[in-house]
Amino acid sequence: MDEFNLRDKVAVITGGAGLICSEMARALARHGVKTGIIDLNEEAAVKTADEIEKTFGVQSLGISANVLDKSSLENARRMIIEKLGLTDILVNGAGGNSPSATTKVEKMDPVTDKTEDTFFGLQTEGFDRVFDLNFKGTLLPTMVFAADMVKRGSGNIINISSMNSYRPLTKIAAYSAAKAAVNNFTQWLAVHFSKTGVRVNAIAPGFLLTNQNRFLLVDEKTGELTQRAKKIINSTPMERFGTPDELTGTLLYLVSDMSKFVTGVVIPVDGGFSAYSGV
Ligand code: NAD
């Protein structure tokens, strides 16, 4: 008997074609969960869903939708209901950072730094895009998919936060602000839904090397780790990057009845990063 008891549940995973969330989708499918893979990248979503269906023998559907466009999410919801059924689990995984919302310098030197390399060089549009993707990109899918859960009196929402939600990382102001907002929203909605049977929790992954942060962590020309990447390793007591499969145990715990009295928490899965003062 599978202690998670998730067979035939339906999970919607946004950003489901990405590195972390495709692994989360695989972990759910391995336990018999039908998966709706939502991603901006249609080809990757369909490919991921096909691979999951073949590997685990449970239905999986790849759909192109934008987490910032409610009508495309409504459309995805209709397709998922028709093909897989009503959603039991929502993983809000779509997210990421962008160079246009990233300062070039960590700590501003008002004498030697060029203004455009500092806070004052952040582009409003870039800031908005990153903030919206990470925060509104969590809010809107929740609005669309949680209504069915509330109606049925059960469901699980998992938001994907980050280390910078606790203490901001240098350079990435918009991403940090948005992930802090995700934690706050996780707590807010957990309380709001506490009498509905729908639980709301988050996972804050430590550092993994993926497409959305590669530009900060690997030197494009040499392929070597950047100074920033080395700092991360030094600040992670386990002295390495994490891997996507290391997040899935926490996911399975949070979406199963093993955690049925747990709501409104953000669980760090970080090799000790958030516990370490650096000394
Ligand atoms: P990734 O780039 O591999 O995956 C992100 C996916 O989201 C991509 O497939 C992309 O196409 C999709 N996406 C982007 N914008 C979208 C939109 N508007 N609508 C729908 N889909 C969209 O990145 P990842 O590292 O696997 O990140 C997954 C989540 O984990 C993100 O929320 C990220 O912020 C978070 N996270 C990552 C790390 C890390 O170290 N990689 C650490 C902490 C948190």
Q: For residues 85 and 30, give the distance between their C-alpha atoms in angstroms, rounded to a whole number.
A: 18
Q: For residues 42 and 152, give the distance between their C-alpha atoms in angstroms, rounded to a whole number.
A: 30
Burial of 168 (0-12, 13-18, 19+ CB in 10 A): middle
Closest CA to 235 of 197, 202, 258, 206: 206
Question: Separation of 68 CA from ligand 1 center, angstroms?
Answer: 14
Q: For residues 267 and 279, give the distance between their C-alpha atoms in angstroms, rounded to a whole number.
A: 23
Ligand 1: which atom is nearest the Cα of residue 68? 18
Active site residue 175: yes
Pocket test for ligand 1, best of 40, 71, 266 (most atoms within 8 A of CB): 40
Residue 207, ligand 1, Cβ within 6 A = yes
Q: Work out the end-to-end distance of the chain between its first and last CA atoms, rounded to an integer number of angstroms.
A: 45
Q: For residues 77 and 7, give the distance between their C-alpha atoms in angstroms, rounded to a whole number.
A: 20
Cα-based angle 196, 65, 29 (whole degrees, multiple of 5): 65
Alpha-carbon distances, residue 202 vs 20, 78, 271 (angstroms): 14, 26, 17
Sign of CA dihedral 230, 266, 161, 121: negative
Q: For residues 244 and 55, give the distance between their C-alpha atoms in angstroms, rounded to a whole number.
A: 18
Residue 75, ligand 1, Cβ within 6 A = no
Nearest CA to ligand 1 atom 14: 94
pLDDT at 228: 87
Closest CA to 67 of 146, 135, 158, 164: 135
pLDDT at 1: 63
Q: Low-confidence residues of the chain, pLDDT below 70? A: 1
Cα-based angle 243, 269, 187 (whole degrees, multiple of 5): 135
Question: Separation of 19 CA from ligand 1 center, angstroms?
Answer: 7
pLDDT at 262: 98
E-strand spans in the chain?
10-14, 34-39, 60-64, 89-92, 155-160, 198-205, 266-269
Question: How big is the chain, counted in residues?
Answer: 279
Nearest CA to ligand 1 atom 25: 210
Ligand 1: which atom is nearest the Cα of residue 207? 40
pLDDT at 138: 98
Structural domains of the chain, with CATH: 10-206+242-266 (3.40.50.720)
